[in-house]
Structure 1
Amino acid sequence: MAEDDDKTPARVTITDYAQSHFRYFRTAEGTVYAQRNGHPVARPMRSQGTTGSHRQELIVGMYRDGVGVFNGTALKEALDLIEALALYEETHAVNIRVAPGFDGATWLDLGRDDGQSVRIHPTGWDILTPDPREVCWRRTQLTGELPLPAKDTGGKGIDLLMRLCNFATAETECLAIAWLIGCLGPSVPVPAPFLTGPQGAGKSTAGRMLLRIIEGMSGDLRRAPKDEGDLLAAVAAGWITALDNLSHMTPDLSDAMCCIVTGAESVKRALFSDGDVFRLGYRRPLLLTGIDVGVIRPDLAERLLPLRLERPRIRRTEAELWAEFAEVLPVILGSLLDMTVKVRAMDVETPTDLRMADFAHLCAQLDAAAGLGALPAYRASLDDLNDDVIEGDLLAQTVLKHAESIEPGAEQRMTSTQWLHCLSRLHSGEELRPLPKGWPTTGKVLSDRLKRLQPTLAARGVLIDNGRTSEGRYLEMTRPAGPPPPEPQRAF
């Protein structure tokens, strides 16, 4: 009986083992993670996954070290105590695939079991195992393994990649390179490349190749989810979200994509609770493929990067194509890392007239490093997207038509209701054509639509502003005096 009293409780044995072999911490959102000593990969305490959960990791470790096998009650009591203690520790961020490091460096997770990763620093890049207190990797079932990148490639990996893809022009190729470099930066919002072209141009294949350079050979495209919740779940589980064969884009999906590209936070009620909430902050690279998605909303157009492909003259089998890609992937990745180091070393001015200023700055750096003309190509792509927005929006067309009657340098001010009557009469014309479906029905709706169209109309020399006087609110339309801004040089 005395021996039983002196026996150490199982929960204490488990707790002592866990705290001596793992580091426990919490994120700023309050999620507790476990990290094996000396290893950069962290696992969430509450993970109940069938593979890779911390609970399984702890059970296997104690069994292999001869500590013993314990029942579920003892494990639960020990893990509950450890999780409670971790809430008093300092916070630490966890990252998927890319992460900021010390001294201006960034890291790329290769997805390897040994934790080896790529450290990209101002003087080059190296393959190292990061200090767990510098980088904590979060892995999911979408985290594929990348090969060790090749050194001293001489830049030939970029040429190998472009030979495998069917990009229509050299300008399109340099935009694809700029996007890949942007994906290696954890703090650089990048526009979403939209791979388009005729049927049979290899859009899905090229999309998979761009994706697998960053996400490994297990990365793949997926169909657009039915609702925002499913989309956010996919976004949270990986670094690049790639949607294939888009043929239609609902307003909700368009808004969700805007949030993914530039960043947002989703707050939901925590499971099995009445008052607790679960926070999910996200900003991820996004990739799309499709022939035509119909009308593009102006706010999404500013966040897209159209990459046009052409049909190949010589067809190859899937097996041959992917065997060659897997063989040259280490060289492609090595060349991309070399180019990333050169680009980041360039000191250039940031263009201040573009919505995605960080990506525009990256394009300017790429031009300084390699002279590829990425920034003019990016400007031209945005100009093409503005044309697409105007062609698909009758209200924008009507506003531009009305603006032709305004003298340069003059302004016209009316209430939103007066503007609605004016534009409606102009659209109907002398034939009294019926107003189309979706035409604004109230002044408030018109005002909201014009706010969305502001960047598109400004690119065509028409400024829309709003304000308030003692008589009420007004909308003002202006055509700036002087010559219009020069048209960007079209790259394709």
Structure 2
Amino acid sequence: MSEDEKSPAREVISNYAQAHFRYFRTADGTVYAQRNGHPVARPIRSQGTTGSHRQELMVGLFRDGYGVFNGTALKEALDLIEALAITEQVQPVHIRVAPGFDGATWLDLGRNDGQSVRIHPTGWDILTPDPQEVCWRRTQLTGELPLPVKDTDGKGIDLLMRLCNFANAQTESLAIAWLIGCLGPSVPVPAPFLTGPQGAGKSTGARMLLRIIEGMTSDLRRAPKDEENLIAAVAAGWVTALDNLSHLGPDLSDLMCCIVTGAETIKRALFTDGDVVRSRYRKPLLLTGIDVGVIRPDLAERLLPLRLERPRVRRTEAELWAEFEEILPVILGSLLDLTVKVRAAQAQIPTDLRMADFAHLCAQLDTATGFGALDAYRASLDDLNDDVIEGDVLAQTVLDHAAGIEPGADVRMTSSEWLHCLTQLYTREGLRPAPKGWPTTGKVLSDRLKRLQPVLAARGVVIDWGRTKTARYIEMARPPQPSPGEQGGMF
């Protein structure tokens, strides 16, 4: 064959690529490559250690007898493929869990053969998903899960609870509800906060919960020092587990709220002036610690306290983890069995809780098992409200003032008048100084009260804002107590 009849290397590569791979883009414009018939997709520009599409092409071309191509030819071919893929249909990629067709969801087992678990209210099966239905994205944080065992009759849940040191059955039910919630891609779940005395096995218990979802290679990590690193860690996995927290500053607290319920960050793309990179995230979060100090009210509504107790009998790490790894297929199978039952259960949606989706899941779990998870969830939130109030002198002062308001009555004042009133109450008419962090202006007081509003409402004090023709006001009221017949409610 003459030189003129030979196809340029970039054409050979691009023709081979389009014959063996499917190319598509995500909503943010990133182009992915997916081998025909395989559910795992890789960004074509990735140079990651989990394997890049460039490496896939090089290996495929070599093994199929096309030879070895230089970097220039590969770059030109990938540039062309990326340009062509911009016009292709938009499809999302998912890490670990994904929505499927017909009300099903999928769990990525992290296997090279692409086998995954399809979870449906009628049952679960181990299958290889259709690439048009599910596209998995893999990172270094995507560990491999064992093939779950069928028909365990709940044995795995019992085995798990024997290894963990949860304080009581109510705490165990909340841990199970959280694990079930982690298998749903569209349900925001509160962040479990494993707490207890030293030696209670908080880190070990957190690792067990984490490894049920993320595999034996996953582990806890220290909280990053800045927002960018934490967001990068969240984006690369499904469950983010932070160990041994001792302090939650305002910035970290706000960021955790965003991780639990969802948010988006935008930053400038590298080597550009006007282009940006969007990063959306809503992932399960797992925390451990003995005491993190004052908890802000908005984070308290997104936490799930799980208390542990010191075990009476100690075991070696090697013995404990060898047993856990051995029973993990049974634990995962039992969790999937229970998930199917919970999703098939019918229950009313509680409308009085911030995390309504998780509260509904607890109600479904109670219907399926009778665990009492919803009552336990309400009790845990009540305890967190107490923690917030105990750590906030302004909240305590407001409750002291509200105790003098008759049920059904209300008091209206401007923010400045409220500041003077509450300051006089706390300082006992100037006999002691105001504490550090006490509001200094009416505007600061109004903002603090907005944060405390849900906590105070849980204690029967309603704060509201309004305006007359001449000024704005803050209203403090104590609603009348419901009669005994009304207290039964819907739940």
TM-score, normalised to structure 2's length? 0.98
Deviation at 1:487, TM superposition (A): 9.8
* 1:389 alignment partner AA: V
Deviation at 1:431, TM superposition (A): 5.2
Query: Residue in 1 aligned with 2:286?
Result: 287
Contact residue 461 and residue 484 of structure 1 kept, 8 A: no
The residue matched to 1:466 in structure 2 has which SS?
strand
Superposed CA deviations along residues 249-279 of structure 1, whole A, max 9, x for unmatched, are 1100000000000000111111111000000
Query: Residue in 2 aligned with 1:95?
Result: 94
5 Å matches for 1:396-407?
Answer: 396-407=395-406
Are positions 1:12 and 2:20 aligned together?
Answer: no
Deviation at 1:430, TM superposition (A): 3.7
Contact residue 50 and residue 138 of structure 2 kept, 8 A: no
Q: Report the Cα distance in structure 2 between the residues aligned to 1:400 and 1:286, rounded to whole angstroms.
A: 32
Deviation at 1:442, TM superposition (A): 1.1
Q: Report the Cα distance in structure 2 between the residues aligned to 1:37 and 1:16, rounded to whole angstroms.
A: 14
Query: Residue in 1 aligned with 2:410?
Result: 411
Q: Which has the higher mean CA deviation after the structures are superposed, 433-442 or 173-182?
A: 433-442
Query: Residue in 2 aligned with 1:193?
Result: 192
Q: How big is the alpha-carbon RMSD for the aligned residues of Structure 1 and Structure 2?
A: 1.3
Q: Report the Cα distance in structure 2 between the residues aligned to 1:482 and 1:222, rounded to whole angstroms.
A: 46
Query: Residue in 2 aligned with 1:339?
Result: 338
Deviation at 1:472, TM superposition (A): 2.0
Query: Residue in 1 aligned with 2:240?
Result: 241
Query: Residue in 1 aligned with 2:423?
Result: 424
Contact residue 109 and residue 116 of structure 2 kept, 8 A: yes
Contact residue 262 and residue 282 of structure 2 kept, 8 A: yes
Are positions 1:163 and 2:162 aligned together?
Answer: yes
Query: Residue in 2 aligned with 1:391?
Result: 390
5 Å matches for 1:445-484?
Answer: 445-483=444-482
* 1:88 alignment partner AA: T
Contact residue 266 and residue 279 of structure 1 kept, 8 A: yes
Query: Residue in 2 aligned with 1:357?
Result: 356
Deviation at 1:407, TM superposition (A): 1.4
Q: Which has the higher mean CA deviation after the structures are superposed, 424-433 or 300-309?
A: 424-433
Deviation at 1:51, TM superposition (A): 3.9
Q: Report the Cα distance in structure 1 between the residues aligned to 2:242 and 2:412, rounded to whole angstroms.
A: 43
Deviation at 1:432, TM superposition (A): 2.3
5 Å matches for 1:213-232?
Answer: 213-232=212-231
Are positions 1:36 and 2:27 aligned together?
Answer: no
* 2:437 alignment partner AA: G
Contact residue 224 and residue 244 of structure 1 kept, 8 A: yes
Query: Residue in 2 aligned with 1:47?
Result: 46
Q: Report the Cα distance in structure 1 between the residues aligned to 2:141 and 2:262, rounded to whole angstroms.
A: 20
Query: Residue in 2 aligned with 1:275?
Result: 274
Q: Report the Cα distance in structure 2 between the residues aligned to 1:484 and 1:190, rounded to whole angstroms.
A: 33
Deviation at 1:482, TM superposition (A): 2.9
5 Å matches for 1:105-254?
Answer: 105-254=104-253
Query: Residue in 2 aligned with 1:296?
Result: 295
5 Å matches for 1:16-27?
Answer: 16-27=15-26
Q: Report the Cα distance in structure 1 between the residues aligned to 2:49 and 2:307, rounded to whole angstroms.
A: 41
* 1:117 alignment partner AA: S
Q: Report the Cα distance in structure 2 between the residues aligned to 1:473 and 1:447, rounded to whole angstroms.
A: 11
Contact residue 38 and residue 131 of structure 2 kept, 8 A: yes
Q: Report the Cα distance in structure 2 between the residues aligned to 1:68 and 1:282, rounded to whole angstroms.
A: 41
The residue matched to 1:23 in structure 2 has which SS?
strand
Contact residue 424 and residue 430 of structure 2 kept, 8 A: no
Q: Report the Cα distance in structure 2 between the residues aligned to 1:82 and 1:338, rounded to whole angstroms.
A: 43
User: Could you tell me the percent identity over the aligned residues?
Assistant: 82
Q: Report the Cα distance in structure 2 between the residues aligned to 1:158 and 1:282, rounded to whole angstroms.
A: 30
Q: Report the Cα distance in structure 2 between the residues aligned to 1:482 and 1:361, rounded to whole angstroms.
A: 26
Contact residue 101 and residue 107 of structure 1 kept, 8 A: yes
Superposed CA deviations along residues 340-359 of structure 1, whole A, max 9, x for unmatched, are 00000011100000000000
Contact residue 240 and residue 286 of structure 1 kept, 8 A: yes
Q: Report the Cα distance in structure 2 between the residues aligned to 1:51 and 1:58, rounded to whole angstroms.
A: 15
The residue matched to 1:331 in structure 2 has which SS?
helix
Contact residue 146 and residue 216 of structure 1 kept, 8 A: yes
Deviation at 1:468, TM superposition (A): 1.8
Q: Report the Cα distance in structure 2 between the residues aligned to 1:139 and 1:157, rounded to whole angstroms.
A: 27
Return closer, same or farther for 1:372/1:50 CA change in 2, 3 Å cut-off.
closer
* 1:159 alignment partner AA: D
Gaps of 5+ in 1: none
The residue matched to 2:412 in structure 1 has which SS?
strand
Are positions 1:322 and 2:321 aligned together?
Answer: yes
Q: Report the Cα distance in structure 1 between the residues aligned to 2:338 and 2:35, rounded to whole angstroms.
A: 34
Deviation at 1:433, TM superposition (A): 1.2
Q: Report the Cα distance in structure 1 between the residues aligned to 2:425 and 2:288, rounded to whole angstroms.
A: 37
* 2:10 alignment partner AA: R
Gaps of 5+ in 2: none
* 1:130 alignment partner AA: P
Superposed CA deviations along residues 116-165 of structure 1, whole A, max 9, x for unmatched, are 00000121000000000000000100000000000110100000000000
Q: Report the Cα distance in structure 2 between the residues aligned to 1:434 and 1:299, rounded to whole angstroms.
A: 28
Q: Which has the higher mean CA deviation after the structures are superposed, 172-181 or 425-434?
A: 425-434
Deviation at 1:415, TM superposition (A): 1.1
Deviation at 1:406, TM superposition (A): 1.2
The residue matched to 1:399 in structure 2 has which SS?
helix
The residue matched to 2:141 in structure 1 has which SS?
coil
Contact residue 41 and residue 115 of structure 1 kept, 8 A: yes
Deviation at 1:392, TM superposition (A): 0.1
Q: Report the Cα distance in structure 2 between the residues aligned to 1:41 and 1:63, rounded to whole angstroms.
A: 21
Q: Report the Cα distance in structure 1 between the residues aligned to 2:483 and 2:84, rounded to whole angstroms.
A: 64
Deviation at 1:417, TM superposition (A): 1.2
Q: Report the Cα distance in structure 1 between the residues aligned to 2:341 and 2:480, rounded to whole angstroms.
A: 42
Runs of 4+ in 1 over 2 A off after TM superposition: 482-488
Q: Report the Cα distance in structure 1 between the residues aligned to 2:128 and 2:210, rounded to whole angstroms.
A: 24
Query: Residue in 2 aligned with 1:67?
Result: 66
Q: Report the Cα distance in structure 2 between the residues aligned to 1:430 and 1:17, rounded to whole angstroms.
A: 83
Deviation at 1:484, TM superposition (A): 8.6
Q: Report the Cα distance in structure 2 between the residues aligned to 1:267 and 1:359, rounded to whole angstroms.
A: 28
Q: Report the Cα distance in structure 2 between the residues aligned to 1:403 and 1:412, rounded to whole angstroms.
A: 9
Q: Report the Cα distance in structure 2 between the residues aligned to 1:356 and 1:483, rounded to whole angstroms.
A: 24
* 2:472 alignment partner AA: R
- Count of residue pairs the alignment pairs up: 487
Deviation at 1:77, TM superposition (A): 0.6
Q: Which has the higher mean CA deviation after the structures are superposed, 428-437 or 360-369?
A: 428-437
Q: Report the Cα distance in structure 2 between the residues aligned to 1:127 and 1:468, rounded to whole angstroms.
A: 60
